Each structure stands twice: as C-alpha cells, then as structure tokens.
Amino acid sequence: MRLAAHHGPSSRQHICLAARRNHLTLTRTRPLSTSIARHASRSQQPTPPSPSPSGVVRTSRSALNSNPRAPRSHDRGPHSEEDTQTDFSAMDILTSAGVATPATSIDACTHDGFYLNNGIQTHGGMGVLLLDGEAFVWTPWDTSSATASIASSTGAGGGGFGSLLDRRGLLTIQPKSLGILGLIYPKPDLLLIGTGRKLWMLNKDTRRYLSEELGMKVDVMDTPNAAAAYNLLVMERESQDELTQARQQVKSSRQEGEEVQEQLGTMEHDTTNLQDQSMASQKSNLELLLQTSQEKEKSLQEQLEVGRKDQQGQQNTLQRQLQESQGLVAGVRAGSSGRLEELKSLRPELTEAQEQLTTVRQELKLTKDTLSSCKDEIQRIQTKLHECYQIRDDIKQQSADNRHHYESTLKVLTLAREKAAELGAKNQNLEKGFQEATSDCNEASINVMALKQKLKISENQTERSNQRNEILVTERNAAQTDRSNWQKVFLCGYQPSAVVRITYVKHQELVT
C-alpha cells in the first residue's frame, strides 16, 4: 500500500508516502536506514501467501504474473523509422519539464518493494512512508491487539494486508498507524493512498477520520498510478517554491521602491516650502535614481512574467503528458519488467534534465544578484535622503531662530503699541478733564453772576430791612414813651382795667 500527502500552494512542502507490494507482516515500524538492513534476510525468502478477504488463499507473485496472453519474448524487432511511432523518451515527465527529481521520488515499483531516486531500495513487502524528504518503514497492519479485534469483528482472515480488509472488501486503516499525520504542522492538504496492484476503497470510518479530524483531502489509487501522481506533485511543488521565492523578491523590491517614492513625496513637500535650489538638484538626482530602479524592477517583473508563463506551459504539458502516460500505462502494464530496463536506460536523460534545472537555478541566482544590486542602489538613495533630511533640519533650525527673533520683535512692538495706546487714553482723559474743567468754570462764572445778582437783591432787602428796623425802633421808642406815660396815669389814680386795655390796644396796633 502507498500513501502520499501533498500541501497546497500556501503551506510548506511536506510530502508523505506509504507503499505496499506484498503481504509480509512486520513486528514494528522502523526508520528505513535501520529496518532495511534488518529485513534484508527476510526479503530473500519466498513470500508466504496471505488469505484474501473472501477466505481464498492468495497465490504467490510469480503465479499472479503467469498470464497466458503475455509475450514470451521482449524482443521487439528492428528499430522503426516511422514518424508516427510513439517516442517514450519525449513522454518522460522529468526530461520534458526540466525539473530536478526529488530524492524521495519513486523511480520504480517492484514486486516486493520500491526503488527511490536517492538509491535506497526496499524489499520484503514493507510499506514505505516518505515525509518531508525522509523515508520510513510503514506497516499499518501491525497494530497488535487492535488489529486482532478488527479482524474478528470484520471477519478478515490471516495477517498482513488482508487484516485491513473486511468482508465487503473495504480498507480500514487504524488511526494509530496515522498518528504522525496528526503531529506534523502544517498538515498536508492532499493524501494519496496506493492500495497495491488492485484498487480497494476506504472504509467510511477511515475516510471520516482523515477528512474531519485531520482535515485532509483523500484520493485512493492503485500503487503505480499513485506513484506517478505523487512524483508529479513533488516536482510541481519544487518549481512553485522557486517561483514564489522570485515573486517575494520582486515584491520586496517593489515595496522598497514605494518607500523611496513616499520619501521623495515628503522631500517634494519640504522643498516647495523651503524653496532651496540645492534641495531641488538633489531631488532631480533622486528622481533619476528612482527611475532607473523602476526600470530595473519592470525588467525583473517581465522576467518573472516570462518565467510564470513558461511554468504554466510546463504544467499544462505535464498534465497532458500525465494523461497520455496513464493511457499508455494501461497498455504497457503487461511488460512492466521491460519498462524497468527502459527506465534505467533513461537515467542519462534525467541527468541532462537536472543539468538544465541547474542552469535555470543559475539564472535565478543572476536575478538574485541583480536584485541585490538594486537593493544596494536603494541603500545609496536612502543615504542621500538622510543627508537631505539633515540639510532640511538645519534649514528648519535657522528658520526657527529667525522666527524666534521675529516673535521677540513682535513682542516689543506690541508693548510699544500698548504704551502708545495707554498714553492716548490718558491724553483723551486729560482732554475730557480740561473740557469738563472749562465747562465747570463757565458754570462757576454763571453761578458767580447769579450770586452777584442775588447779593444785590439781598443788599436791597437788607436796606429795606434796615429801614423797617429803624421804623420799628422809632415806633418802639414811641411805644415806650407811651407806656411810660400810661404808667404815670395809672399811678395818678385811673382804673387798672382801663389802663391794661389801653396798653393792650396800643400794643396790638404797634405789632401790626
């Protein structure tokens, strides 16, 4: 059985593969480097038959390959010169794509193991798990008591791969044997499962565990088709990684160019305010440098676009060739042993493809060098911008000093204006006081005239009163003389009542 996992474009490359070719039961899962040597002696022994799900004892691999219609000889006669003849070397995916073969790709599938691209071979019917460029032995049927309980419940007989099949022929893989997929991060997006020579469907419990709990897509195939699909996915992943690295470099250079443009915009704003000729000249130099960097960026983008188009064409050709190869594999499967020799003969062509890939990588290295030179130019531009910023800061400091002097003069002028305003207010107050004093003097003169008139009137009245007083004095003197006369009469013997009445009458007349 074979299992492969492939990540999407956004995740890092993690590829797992497990494969089974016959039905040997192993004790435990070990790394490939240690378990291959330990099981080498077992691989030379004949493979014991394992019971099928229906209870029929399986025959050996040699008995299965005994096809009465198979050709007895692999000699195909003289080489044909027809143009319509199928060229299998042109249909080789690795040679036509120009992509380096990964170390964990499968070169061939034998009757009891696999040949990997890094030279490692597996024997003895062991499953293989390829994870992130490393190979491990994988025996999902060896889960001790759990396998025994499932075999008893499903009715599967025997051990090995047959213990994973139930009566209906559904494949049940224990979650314990898939525990490594739950530990790695990020998890694979696509899981390819190769079920050997024949296609066996997955049980719904296993499919639910893979899709719901682990969150991975599952695709089940026979082992040859699964190996071909796995190799194609691995090659596409490496080419896409190189393309994404180039895109990231172009994106970083574009961001640096945008930062330079922003800095130039700020410098333009400062130069318009300061109106400095030296700043204008430096700005023109920076614009020329920016224009050259933009032209280089455009050329890099064009190179990236050409590489992307080539990559898209290669992917299309790979998919088309994969479809054609899958159609041809169905017709050439009977002569798989001869195909192995042809694949061995195609190794020089694979080396040529690897050399082409090295040339492509050298071109990418050249593009990286150009990007580094662009970065150096951008750094020089940034240093010049720093110098311009220092000049701008000096000019700002001078303008700040001038502004401080201007503010101090403004303060002195405002104080002088305030004092002048105070003196003007005092002058206005003095003028008002003078006007009020003049008005008071006028009023006082008017009052003096009135007082003089009143004084004249009072003098006249005093004269009149003096005259009246003189009249009264004379009258009083006359009254006194009269009184003295009446007193004499009283003393001479007149009645007192008549005297009193006469004096009273006289007094009344005197008062009136």
DSSP sequence for 181-211: HHHSSSPPSEEEEE-TTS--PBPHHHHHIII
| Element housing 480 (H / E) | helix 347-492
Examine residue 186 and say whether the peptide bond preceding it is cis (omega within 30 degrees of 0).
yes
Q: Where are the domains of the chain?
A: 1-35+126-221
CA-CA distances (angstroms) from residue 14 to 274, 368, 382, 390? 58, 26, 40, 51
Give the model's confidence band at 31: pLDDT under 50 very low, under 70 low, under 90 confident, else very high: very low
Span 234-248, average pLDDT = 65
Q: What is the pLDDT of residues 453-505, one digit of tens each?
A: 888 898 888 888 888 888 988 888 888 887 777 666 555 554 444 444 455 44
- What is the CA angle 248-249-252, rounded to 5? 85
Span 165-170, average pLDDT = 89
Provide CB contacts within 8 A for 65, sequence distance 6+: 111
Pairing of strands 190-194, 217-221: parallel
Span 44-65, average pLDDT = 40
The Cα 304–Cα 333 span in angstroms is: 41
What strands, in cross-sheet order, belong to the sheet with 190-194?
Answer: 16-18, 2-6, 190-194, 217-221
Which is higher by pLDDT, 207 or 132?
A: 207
Q: What is the pLDDT of residues 181-202, one digit of tens each?
A: 888 887 878 888 888 888 999 9
Which is higher by pLDDT, 140 or 103?
A: 140
Tokens representing 346 are 């195609």
What pLDDT is stored for residue 273 in this prediction? 65
Residue labelled with tokens 């009023």: 443
Provide CB contacts within 8 A for 49, sequence distance 6+: 23, 57, 58, 59, 60
Span 403-423, average pLDDT = 88
Residue 61 has pLDDT above 70, yes or no: no
Span 296-307, average pLDDT = 79
Residue 209 has pLDDT above 90, yes or no: yes
* Side-chain half-sphere exposure of 22, counting CA atoms within 13 A: 23
Q: Which of 38-42, 131-135, 228-232 is most confident?
A: 228-232
The Cα 21–Cα 112 span in angstroms is: 5
Q: What is the pLDDT of residues 258-268, one digit of tens each?
A: 777 777 677 66
DSSP sequence for 132-169: TTEEEEE-TT--THHHHHHHHHHT--SSGGGGGB-TT-
| Element housing 217 (H / E) | strand 217-221
Residue labelled with tokens 């004249």: 456
What pLDDT is stored for residue 494 in this prediction? 47
Q: What is the pLDDT of residues 310-359, one digit of tens each?
A: 777 777 777 777 777 667 666 656 555 565 666 677 777 777 877 888 88
Q: What is the pLDDT of residues 85-104, one digit of tens each?
A: 777 777 766 566 666 677 77
Tokens representing 436 are 């009020």
Residue 134 has pLDDT above 80, yes or no: no
